[in-house]
Every structure is written in C-alpha cells, then in structure tokens.
Structure 1
Amino acid sequence: MKNYFQEMLKRKDLLIYLVKSGLKADNRNSYLGYFWWLLDPLLNVVVYYFLIGIVLGRGGENFAVFLVIGLVAWRWMQTTINSSAKSIMKHGSIINQVYLPKTIFPISITFTQMINFAFGLIIVATFLAFFGVMPGWQSIYLPLIILVQLVFLLSLGMLLAYITVFVRDIDHLLTHFTRILFYASPIIWEGGRLRGAELEIGNNVIVLDFLVDYNPIAIIVDSYRNVLMYQTDPNFLGLTIILIASFILFNIMVKFYSKNEHKIIKAL
C-alpha cells in the first residue's frame, strides 16, 4: 500500500493534466466558455426559485440565498458522483496501454469539480451581498466543511469507479439514485421532503426523519448554511463522523485498488 501511495505521488503531473483537461472539456465548443462556471449555478437558482418560490408559493425569508447555497454544494456532489463512476471506463484505452494507478481518474474528477465549486462560491458571495445576509465569525469553518466534502467525495468516487467497471448497470442507476438524494436532502426544501414523512408498513408507522438526520449530504449542506447564512456553528459531530468514515473508506479503497488493479485491466 505504501508503494502504491508513492506511485500515486509520482503521477501528480498526470493528475494535474487530467484536472486541466477536465475543466477545458466542460466548456469545449461553447460560445460563453468559462463564463458557464458562473452562469450555470446562477441559472439553476433562477429555475428553482421560479418553480418553488413563485409557482408553488413556498420558500421564506432569504429563500434565494437558501437555494444558491444548497444548489452549489449539491452540484459538486452530483457531478462528482456521476462522473467518477465512469471515470475508469472512460480512460480504458490509456489504461490498457500504460500502467497507471487507477485511483488517479476518480480523484481527478473530484478535484475538477471542486474548482467548479469554487466558482460557484462566487455566486454564493454575490447573493449574500445582494440580499444583505452577512456571515458571522463562524464562516472561518468554511474550509473545514469543504475539506469534509472533498474527502467524502474522493472516497465515494473511488468506490463507485471500481464497482462500475464490473457492474456497468451502476452508471445507469446512479441517475435515479442521485435524484432521490436530491429531493430527500435539504437542497431546495427546508429539511428535505422526507422531514415529517411517514411510511406505513402494516400496522407500523415509520417516521422518515432519520433519513435526513443521518444523511451525510444533508449534514454537509446544512453546515454550509449555518456558517454562511444563519451565523451558527456547523454540525461538528456529524462532520467529524463523515470525515473519519470517509478517511477510513479512502484508505480501504487505496489498499483495495493496489491489490486488485489487474482485475480492472481484465474487465476493461
């Protein structure tokens, strides 16, 4: 495993190249180019604000700020999850010709989308200023939340990339799974649509609040809003659990890749 980590470090130039090429590919052949990094999250907010705030009459005070924070954080998660799953298969031709640590490919996706997320934060800052929402001193915890989300997505991306090589159906199922996560998490709804919902099984009634309370995406998104919008502390306990669990999974996946990469080559 130590040798595998060293091999990954030797390939840092390739990682940087993949991140740069990924950023260029996102806006290739578009007239507005890199301006889409700012325009895309802005248009997302406009669409959902129109549907929920105007058409459905839902929302509340500073709902636009609530939306932009949730959508920008979610965008990093969604694009990373969907792209990481097929990252190894996408580079199958390279993998079959040259030996490379396969973890580089899902890792590059996560860092590529993190840069897009950084541009999304510019939109968040613009909304905060426009609507007069002033973050408190708790905003110093913002890098911590970003770190937790980064490690979470790195570990999850590596897991999905490996599984998808052998179970190609995962790539198709992820679209529907992320849609469920979107509506179950507090991205566009306060507490998510599952808050207060009940599931009846025979004579038993199960309250689905636990799917929100223990949802890592909900914990991360709510923590962003706490420090940027509500001037309160993030969910330290939840973030700590996510960070530790993600770090453990990351190390498990690195060890797993190092021992089973030959199976990936055969499967491709």
Structure 2
Amino acid sequence: MFMKTYLQEMLKRKDLLFYLVKSGLKAEHRNSYLGYFWWLLDPLLNVLVYYFLVVIILNRGGPDYPVYLVIGLVVWRWISTTINSSAKSILRYKSIINQVYLPKSIFPVAFTFTQLFNFLFGLIVIAIFLLFFGVKPTWHILYLPVLIIIQTVFLLAVGLFLGYITVFIRDIDNVLSHIMRLFFYASPIIWEGSRLPEKYSWAVDYNPIAIIVSSYRDILMYGRTPDLIALAIILVASLIVGTYMISYYNKHEHKIIKAL
C-alpha cells in the first residue's frame, strides 16, 4: 500500500522529472562553443584515441575493429556516465531536498534518462561507422529496442542503489572511479573477449556489462541473436533490485534528509 502511494507521488512529480532531464541535457555543454554537437563529437574522439592506441601503437585489431571499437565505447560511455552521475544525483540537489518534500528516488531516475538521450546520439555515430565500413545490419536489429530497455532497467537499478548509499558513505564517489576502471578493462570494450586467457573467461561470461556490450555487437555488427537467457537474467535481477530500492526509498527517505 505504501509502495503504491510512493509510486503515485513519483508520477505526480513527472513534470519535475522532465525538467531535471531537460536541465541535465542543457547543463552538460552549456558553456561550450560547440554545444550539443559534442554529443556526436565526444564519442567520435573517444574512438579515435583508442584506435590510435590499439591499432597504431599496439598494432592489433582487424579490418572491422573500428566498428567493434565504436560500439563498445558508445555503450560503455552510457554505462559509465549514468553510474557516475546517478551516484551523485541526490547530493547534487541537496539544497532542494532540504526545502521541499520530493521522492528522493526521482533524482537518480532523472540522471539515468538524461544519459539515455545522450546514448541515442551515440547511436548516430555507430550508424555512421556501420555505413562507412559497409556493415549492413540484418533483421536482428529488431532486438535493439529490447536491449536498450534492458540496459535502461539495469542502470536504473544500479543508479537507485548508488544514489542512496552515496548519501551516507561519501567515499563511494572516490572509489567508484576505480571500480568503473576495473569494469572497463574486465569487459570487451577495446579488446576482443576471445583474447582473454581461459582462466579469466569468467570476467566476460558473468559480467553484465560485458554481456550487454557483446549483445550490441551481435545485433549491429555480426547479425546474430544475442544471448537472450543472459539478458533475461540481467532484466529480472535488475527489476528485483530496482523494486526493492524503490520500496527502501519509501521507508527510509527520512534518513536521507538527516544525512544531508
């Protein structure tokens, strides 16, 4: 009953949610000369930097590596920016929270959707690479909206958890950058999963980020069905965690106000 009331309260604040998403998008490049063009330029520059490192310096990567790389980096950018911004979302708006009652979970949710919009622009960069290198997506591209929904639910669950715990353990923000770096190198973002030694294969097999990134490549690059069972497990686990966190926010939001 209380859970239903809390969700209804969040729905009443949907205008605030839209405002937070809109203001978040504007704030990212507010003082830059190129403005929203950075949504396209940033992932492109990322690709060029790692292409130079892996192909030019290390002399690795095949003819399709640029497409492989751009998919990994664009998906990773969505994951990393969402997790980092969601973790600090409640702290960022503490001045508002201390003055007006708001469902506190709305802040990590808003940051998650803000980065979702950024990712949609990243898909344009991926499409350009697919076109330039002659990679034609097959009917498997129909899985793409489903995969985006699964990843969004996953990031919502992670964001809700980190947004809450960071209020009480501020050091999480400092540790998070190192954790994200570990996940970056433990996932096939810039390297191919098959190059891992057999004893480290679990880093890809049971890593949700690796599974999600590989699923995008299966759909867009290789024209094959992704691992639906693994994606279903990620979705179910994320729904369970997300639902639990919404319930936890409902019961313990008063602690957030005290901690701020």
| TM, length-normalised to structure 2 | 0.98
Q: CA deviation at 1:211?
A: 1.9
Report if the CA contact (8 A) 1:73-1:221 is conserved.
Answer: yes
Report if the CA contact (8 A) 1:185-1:192 is conserved.
Answer: no
**2:221 counterpart (209, 214, 229):** 229
1:196 is matched with 197
- Point out the structure with the larger helix share: 2
1:146 is matched with 148
Report if the CA contact (8 A) 1:184-1:192 is conserved.
Answer: no
Report if the CA contact (8 A) 1:80-1:110 is conserved.
Answer: yes
**1:97 counterpart (93, 96, 99):** 99
Q: Please state if 1:246 is matched with 2:238.
A: yes
Q: Residues 207-227 of structure 1: CA distance to partner in whole angstroms, max 9, x if unpaired?
A: 221121010000000000001
1:258 is matched with 250
Report if the CA contact (8 A) 1:8-1:101 is conserved.
Answer: yes
Which contiguous aligned blocks of 4+ residues in structure 1 show a shift greater than 2 angstroms?
none
Take 1:211 and 1:265, find their aligned partners in 2: how far apart are those partners?
A: 38
Query: Map of 1:64-213 to 2, 5 A cutoff?
Result: 64-191=66-193, 195-196=196-197, 207-213=199-205
Partner secondary structure for residue 122 of structure 1: helix
Take 1:58 and 1:82, find their aligned partners in 2: how far apart are those partners?
A: 30
1:204 is matched with none
Report if the CA contact (8 A) 1:52-1:58 is conserved.
Answer: yes
2:10 is matched with 8
Report if the CA contact (8 A) 1:49-1:67 is conserved.
Answer: yes
Amino acid at match of 2:63: E
Take 1:57 and 1:237, find their aligned partners in 2: how far apart are those partners?
A: 35
Amino acid at match of 1:171: D
* Cα distance change on mapping 1:142 and 1:65 into 2, 3 Å: same
Amino acid at match of 2:200: L
Partner secondary structure for residue 229 of structure 1: helix
1:220 is matched with 212
Query: Map of 1:26-41 to 2, 5 A cutoff?
Result: 26-41=28-43
Report if the CA contact (8 A) 1:135-1:229 is conserved.
Answer: yes
Structure 2 unaligned blocks of 5 or more: none
- RMSD of aligned alpha carbons: 0.9
Query: Map of 1:13-24 to 2, 5 A cutoff?
Result: 13-24=15-26
Please identify, of 60-69 and 255-264, the stretch whose mean Cα deviation from structure 2 is larger.
60-69
Q: CA deviation at 1:60?
A: 1.2
Q: CA deviation at 1:5?
A: 0.3
Take 1:14 and 1:189, find their aligned partners in 2: how far apart are those partners?
A: 41
Take 1:235 and 1:70, find their aligned partners in 2: how far apart are those partners?
A: 17
Take 1:19 and 1:176, find their aligned partners in 2: how far apart are those partners?
A: 27
Q: CA deviation at 1:91?
A: 0.5
Report if the CA contact (8 A) 1:106-1:161 is conserved.
Answer: yes
Report if the CA contact (8 A) 1:135-1:228 is conserved.
Answer: yes
Q: Residues 38-66 of structure 1: CA distance to partner in whole angstroms, max 9, x if unpaired?
A: 00000000000011011100111310000
Structure 1 unaligned blocks of 5 or more: 198-206
